[in-house]
Amino acid sequence: MKHLARLLVGLALLCAPGARADDWTPAQLELLRALWIGNLPALPPDPTNRYGDDPRAAEFGRLLFYDRRLSSNGKTACATCHDPAKAFTDGRALARGVGVTDRNAPTIIGAAWNTWFFWDGRKDSQWSQALASTENPLEMNFPRAGVVDLLRRDRDYTRRYRAIFGDLPARGDAEGVTRAFVNYGKAIEAFERRVLPQPSRFDRYVAAKLEGREPKASNEKLSLDEEMGLRSFLSVEQSQCLRCHNGPLFTNGTFHNIGSQNRKAASSEEGRAAGVKKALVDEFNCRGKYSDAAPDQCAELDFARVDGAQLVGAFKAPSLRNVARTGPYFHDGHVKSLDDVIWHYRTTQGAPLGQSELEAATMTGTEFDQLRIFLGSLDSPAPADTGPPRRR
Ligand code: HEC
Ligand code: HEC
């Protein structure tokens, strides 16, 4: 009886006007499911940071993330370059803090799933990444002793720090200061681990399709162009995109040479080839004494690929979630718009340095346009409770 009812409902759906029950094949539906936010695995713990999932550390980290006092000009916080109103980027080609950097600021939404941080992956944890930005002369330009002084001067910070990590070090205790600085980074990571991807229109569309129904509400519908673009995106033969932008974060998290260096710039950068060497000798890496990981928990570092022509000129494939709002694009921000990114994939020829992995495109101009339009459906609102905190 139940089966018969289901069959009848199925038949009614097939005949209903507007229903397109045959529009995605079972194989395509599986590809959609793989990209769907519902397929995102639970955030794995970070063994290098034992405070990573401590809610007190996350609250503390949130205050630090928005605190401009942590910079030599008193004007730059993490949030200056990772603004929640801009999908945690800054809208600039090159990030600007105390100085102007030579890199585009990536989003931090979903970054907690990454194994490697920065475009060249020269860091292997979010806490050690945060330490680098704080001391970088072009970003916050703030020495670790200055950070610890602020933790000492600000009563609320001292109280929070002590509750989580114990006493602050004595002045002049260099090793203690570095440890406290590391704890500061670990608190910031705990906050960043809450900056999680949110459902987009694309995700709601897929959810409806997986339930076997036609998307109806405006926040779960794709336009015809978006749907056509999605078809191209799913077809590796057509677009290649899924080779690198796959899984629910639309990235495989690894490094590829796509000829993305600025052809007009004087020098080309080594990318991952240089980044992995830095990660291996970093005093704040997984194997270092400031890491909370056991030696057998650093497999990514132990087995990282260090040599090989494919690392030269390779950069990390970024997530495409919210990508319509994270421009300008590429590691050095030299690509202004999504149209220009698409143009890169359409016309790509060789790489200024190393060997490009991209193959010649076989899509028409219209199909490329639709691909760009589809990317707009990956927008989502900022995650709740990650904006600037109200203090005390
Ligand atoms: C001056 C602007 C600026 C400031 C300030 C800044 N960042 Fe960034 N951030 C960047 C840029 C640029 C990159 C990429 C740099 C690179 O790859 O070489 C980056 C990369 C990152 C990444 C790596 C994301 C990924 O997927 O690889 C994280 C995480 C991050 N920043 C968090 C922070 C935190 C936390 C702070 C504060 C402690 C901070 N940033 C301060 C500009 C900034
Ligand atoms: C061989 C791997 C590979 C393939 C295939 C690929 N990408 Fe990428 N993609 C990358 C890498 C690597 C970057 C970052 C390059 C850089 O920053 O220098 C990138 C960057 C991007 C960006 C810019 C994101 C940002 O935040 O700067 C967009 C948009 C994008 N890709 C979309 C696509 C689309 C659409 C396709 C299919 C037509 C595609 N990609 C195919 C590896 C790939």
Express each pLDDT in 244-279 by its tens digit. Answer: 999 999 999 999 999 998 888 766 789 999 999 999
Cα separation of 207 and 201, whole Å?
Answer: 10
273-290 pLDDT, tens digit each: 999 999 999 999 999 999
Check pocket membership of 374 for ligand 2, CB cut-off 6 A: no
**Least confident window among 55-64, 116-125, 182-191, 349-358:** 349-358
Cα separation of 141 and 163, whole Å?
Answer: 27
| pLDDT at residue 7 greater than cutoff 80 | no
96-120 pLDDT, tens digit each: 999 999 999 999 999 999 999 999 9
**Which ligand gives the minimal distance to the CA of 321?**
2
Q: Identify the pLDDT of residue 6.
A: 47
pLDDT-derived band at 10 (thresholds 50, 70, 90) equals very low
Cα separation of 281 and 315, whole Å?
Answer: 19
Atom of ligand 2 nearest to the CA of 241: 37
**Which ligand gives the minimal distance to the CA of 190?**
1
Q: Identify the pLDDT of residue 360.
A: 83
pLDDT-derived band at 22 (thresholds 50, 70, 90) equals low
Atom of ligand 2 nearest to the CA of 256: 12
Cα separation of 149 and 106, whole Å?
Answer: 29
Cα separation of 236 and 281, whole Å?
Answer: 37
**383 alpha carbon to ligand 1 midpoint, in Å?**
18
Q: Residue 129: which residues within 8 A CB-CB, separation 6 or more?
A: 117, 118, 123, 185
Check pocket membership of 323 for ligand 2, CB cut-off 6 A: yes
Q: Identify the pLDDT of residue 268.
A: 72
**318 alpha carbon to ligand 2 midpoint, in Å?**
7
Q: What percent of the chain clears pLDDT 70, i.e. is strictly above it? A: 93
Q: What value does the mean pLDDT of the chain take? A: 93
Tokens found for residue 246: 């796959």
pLDDT-derived band at 392 (thresholds 50, 70, 90) equals low
| pLDDT at residue 38 greater than cutoff 90 | yes
Cα separation of 317 and 251, whole Å?
Answer: 6
